[in-house]
């Protein structure tokens, strides 16, 4: 037993000695000399290339990583914001309800084509609430979203052409940039297409814009000047189609009567001032003799 | 022996096993969010919510539910229906993939995901064209 312990002790001593001598050997290597050897072996350019490649990959990786922190670009922003607003206000607007196919798609396409407005994309969303009678939200690639209140359409007993005329009015409101002006869309410029790498994401701007849209749709609406411009645009557009022009005039008359008699839609004049004025703007001026 | 045969035939007759539908291929969901529906109808209940670019296995539809505009699909363990317009042969460029950190920062809750998916069931989309 004693012999065995002694043997093990000698073995461990020799192992330690071997390790020490190896370390000494490494210490003894002159690396600057080795560098010369590598140079003479033409390995230095390969090492340099490798280092450069690793550096390039690192830069590329950082770029990709940084790109993940982009805010939506202009091609995506407005569709995103409009849809997000609809999602946030789903409970108020009540658009998630079962309904028949009203055939609005064909009626709108027909009217736009009749007036020579081609390649106009649209998405119609009927809502089951009178809080908004009709309203348009911008979309990217001019694929706008049009909200139409079913209670409003029912109360007026609107025909498909009349509904399409309301959509046309809303189309011009977007075309004339009234929506962007009224929600102060300039505040979106600080984030559209920008990057927030190593910064805090600016959700306050998004919330501000959502609030402004709600304010425009439910409270503030459009001003007289804007309404005048829209009405004049409709007038010019429909003049060469007297039947449609008459339908538009009658539609304004219907709306005017409704908003004066039905408390449910009394807010209409605040948002779109005012059907009565619109009728006057459209009526030919009477000459007083 | 006779009684064993009777029991076996009874079990086979009332086997709860599902009839396996034939897999036809894989397509990708092409809207921001969406739903797998119980029935091939826009307003039918949702079985599950999907995000853009989700791969979806298209199955052979049961005979009683063959509809031209709807695909019978399998997503995970769920089998249901998706409108053909919401499926593409290739992965589409999704908002969530393009701006992932921004989208994550929105912290959408389950209700918002549900509504965002529903939105596309309710849109009537169109475009005026020159004839």
Q: Would you state the pLDDT for residue A187? A: 86
Nearest Cβ partner of B122 from A72, A105, A125? A125
Which of A65, A73, A87 should be substituted to probe chain B, the one whose Cβ sees the most B Cβ atoms within 10 Å?
A87
- CA torsion through residues A150, A155, A159, A162, sign: negative
Pick the residue from chain B with its C-alpha nearest to A111: B128
| CB of A148 less than 8 A from some CB of B | no
In angstroms, the CA A279 to CA B8 distance is 81
Give me chain B's average pLDDT, please: 85
| Yes or no, beta carbons of B106 and A84 under 8 Å apart | yes
In this predicted structure, the answer to whether residue A21 has a pLDDT above a threshold of 90 is no
**Chain A partners of B101 at a C-beta cutoff of 8 Å?**
68-70, 196, 201
Q: How confident is the model at residue A144 (pLDDT cuts 50, 70, 90)?
A: very high
CB contact under 8 A, A113 and B129: yes
* A90 contacts B124? CB cut-off 8 A: no
CB contact under 8 A, B99 and A122: no
B96-112 average pLDDT score: 94
- The answer to whether residue A96 neighbours chain B at the CB level (below 8 Å) is yes
Mark yes or no for CB contact A69/B101 under 8 Å: yes
Q: Domain B21-122 has what CATH class?
A: mainly beta
pTM of this prediction?
A: 0.82
A113 and B102 in contact by Cβ < 8 A? no
Report the pLDDT value the prediction gives residue A289, as an integer from 0 to 100: 56
Q: How far is B127 from chain A (nearest CA, A)?
A: 4
Asked if the model's pLDDT at residue A211 lies above 60, the reply is yes
Chain B residues whose beta carbon lies within 8 Å of the beta carbon of residue A99: 43
When CB atoms are compared, the residue of B102, B112, B119 closest to A201 is B102
What pLDDT, on a 0 to 100 scale, did the predictor assign at position A42? 72
Q: Which residues of B touch A87 (CB under 8 A)?
A: 112, 115-116, 119
For helices A44-67 and A31-40, give the axis angle rounded to 10 degrees.
Answer: 90
Residue A285: its pLDDT value, please? 72
Provide the pLDDT for residue A29: 66
- Can you give the pLDDT at residue B112? 96
Q: Domain ranges in chain A?
A: 31-68, 74-282
For the stretch A179-199, pLDDT in tens is: 999 998 888 998 999 999 999
Q: What is the mean pLDDT of residues A39-50?
A: 77
Give pLDDT tens digits for A56-111. Answer: 999 999 999 999 999 999 999 999 999 999 999 999 999 999 999 889 999 999 99
Structure tokens at A112: 């736009």
What was the pLDDT predicted at B13? 41
CB A248 within 8 A of CB A278: no
Q: Give yes or no for residue A13 having a pLDDT over 50.
A: yes
A162-183 pLDDT tens trace? 999 999 999 999 999 999 999 9
Which among A68, A87, A105 is the nearest to B126, CB-wise? A105
Judged by a CB distance cut-off of 8 A, whether residue B123 touches chain A is yes
Is B105's Cβ below 8 Å from some Cβ in A?
yes
CA–CA separation, B30 and B17 (whole Å): 33
pLDDT-based confidence at A20, cuts 50/70/90? low
For residue B12, what pLDDT is reported?
40
Domain spans of chain B?
A: 21-122
Buried residues in A31-48 as b, exposed as e (16+ CB within 10 A):
eeeeeeeeeeeeeeeeee
Q: What is the ipTM of this complex?
A: 0.82
CA distance A139 to A121: 9
pLDDT tens-digit profile of B49-93?
999 999 999 998 776 666 678 999 999 999 999 999 999 999 998
**Nearest Cα residue in chain B from A101:** B124
């Amino acid at each position: 037993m004693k012999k065995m312990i002694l043997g093990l002790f000698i073995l461990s001593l020799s192992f330690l000695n071997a390790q020490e001598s190896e370390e000494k050997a490494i210490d003894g290597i002159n690396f600057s000399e080795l560098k010369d050897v590598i140079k003479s072996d033409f390995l230095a350019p390969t090492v340099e290339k490798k280092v450069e490649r690793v550096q390039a990959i690192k830069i590329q990786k950082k770029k990709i990583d940084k790109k993940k922190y982009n805010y939506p670009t202009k091609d995506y922003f407005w569709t995103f914001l409009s849809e997000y607003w609809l999602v946030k206000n789903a409970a108020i607007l009540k658009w998630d309800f079962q309904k028949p196919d009203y055939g609005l798609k064909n009626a709108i396409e027909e009217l736009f084509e009749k007036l020579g407005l081609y390649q106009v994309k649209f998405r119609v969303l009927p809502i089951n609430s009178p809080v908004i009678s009709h309203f348009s939200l911008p979309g990217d690639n001019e694929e706008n979203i049009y909200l139409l209140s079913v209670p409003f359409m029912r109360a007026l007993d609107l025909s498909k052409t009349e509904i399409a005329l309301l959509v046309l009015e809303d189309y011009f409101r977007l075309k004339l940039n009234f929506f962007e002006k009224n929600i102060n869309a300039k505040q979106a410029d600080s984030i559209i297409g920008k990057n927030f790498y190593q910064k805090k994401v600016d959700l306050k701007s998004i919330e501000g814009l959502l609030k402004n849209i709600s304010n425009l749709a439910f409270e503030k609406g459009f001003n007289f000047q804007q309404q005048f411009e829209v009405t004049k645009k409709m007038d010019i557009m429909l003049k060469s189609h007297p039947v449609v022009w008459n339908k538009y005039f009658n539609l304004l008359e219907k709306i005017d009567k409704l908003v004066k008699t039905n408390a449910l839609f009394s807010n209409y004049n605040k948002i779109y001032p005012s059907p009565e004025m619109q009728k006057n703007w459209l009526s030919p001026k009477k000459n007083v003799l | 022996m006779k009684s064993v045969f009777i029991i076996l035939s009874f079990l086979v007759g009332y086997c709860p096993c599902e009839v396996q539908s034939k897999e036809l291929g894989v397509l990708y969901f092409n809207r921001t969010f969406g739903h797998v529906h119980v029935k091939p109808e826009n307003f039918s209940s949702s079985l599950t919510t999907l995000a853009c670019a989700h791969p979806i296995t298209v199955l052979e539809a049961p005979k009683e539910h063959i509809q031209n505009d709807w695909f019978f699909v399998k997503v995970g363990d769920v089998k249901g229906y998706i409108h053909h317009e919401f499926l593409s042969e290739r992965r589409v460029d999704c908002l969530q993939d393009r701006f992932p950190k921004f989208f994550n920062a929105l912290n959408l809750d389950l209700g918002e995901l549900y509504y965002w998916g529903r939105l596309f069931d309710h849109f009537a989309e169109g475009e005026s064209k020159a004839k």
